[in-house]
Amino acid sequence: MSLNELYQNVILEHNRSPRNYRSMDDTDRKAEGHNPLCGDQLTVWVRVNDDVIQDASFQGSGCAISRASASLMTSAVKGRTRREAEELFRRFHRLVTGTLEPAEAETLGKLAVFSGVSEFPIRVKCASLSWHTLKAALDAPGHTVSTE
């Protein structure tokens, strides 16, 4: 397993210049996520209208995997319904834990760059922190989630 497969260029690029890296003050759907093990901490905001995610953003500190994941996630969920976003998370989670069929991986679009994570079990939490936090923001706004 090479390091290049974990740190694919897309991931490095999103780590350097994350998309949707801003707060949103016109929504109460916001949640904080912590990974106590590495001290990662991020806030995710979502604006939902008619059950469709209109906008998603994040801020916080974390490793390249968790920043890039939050960056790509916030882009990927825009325009999707909650159910679609949750389904996407389920597939993403199977991707990073190595239990997704290759054919299904194609349906993940850009998110497929995280396939290398499955070879680094310790980094699964980094990749999924933003997703757990998104789910918390959708389910119970103002909640704090922890990956421990």
Partner 1 sequence: MTAAPVPTLATPVPVPLDVERLRSDFPILGQPVRGKPLVYLDNAATSQKPQVVIDAVTRFYASENANIHRGVHFLSERATLAYDAVREKVARFLNAGSAREIIFTRGTTESINLVAQSFGRAVLRPGDEVLITGMEHHSNIVPWQLVCEQTGARLRAIPITDTGELDLEAFDRLLGERTRLLALAHLSNALGTINPVRDLVARAHARGIPVLVDGAQSAPHLGVDLQALDCDFFACSGHKMFGPTGVGVLYGREALLERMPPWQGGGDMIASVTLERSTWAPVPAKFEAGTPMIAEVIGLGAAVDYLSAVGLTAVAAWEHELLAVASQRVGDIEGVRLVGTAPAKASVLSFVMEGVHPHDIGTVLDDEGIAIRAGHHCAQPVMQRFGVPATARASFAAYNTLEEVDALVRGLRRVRQVFG
What does the alpha-carbon distance between residue 85 and residue 107 come to, in Å, rounded to a whole number? 13
**Cβ nearer to partner 1, comparing 32 with 84:** 32
Measured in whole angstroms, the distance separating CA 125 from the mean position of its chain's CA atoms is 10
Collapsing DSSP to helix, strand or coil, 81 comes out as strand
Shortest approach of partner 1 to residue 8 CB, angstroms?
11
Interface residues toward partner 1, by CB under 8 A: 3, 6-7, 12, 15-16, 37-41, 61-65, 67, 120, 123, 126
Shortest approach of partner 1 to residue 80 CB, angstroms?
29
Shortest approach of partner 1 to residue 85 CB, angstroms?
26
**Cβ nearer to partner 1, comparing 85 with 127:** 127
Alpha helices in 35-77 (DSSP H): 64-77
* Strand residue runs (E) in 50-114: 52-61
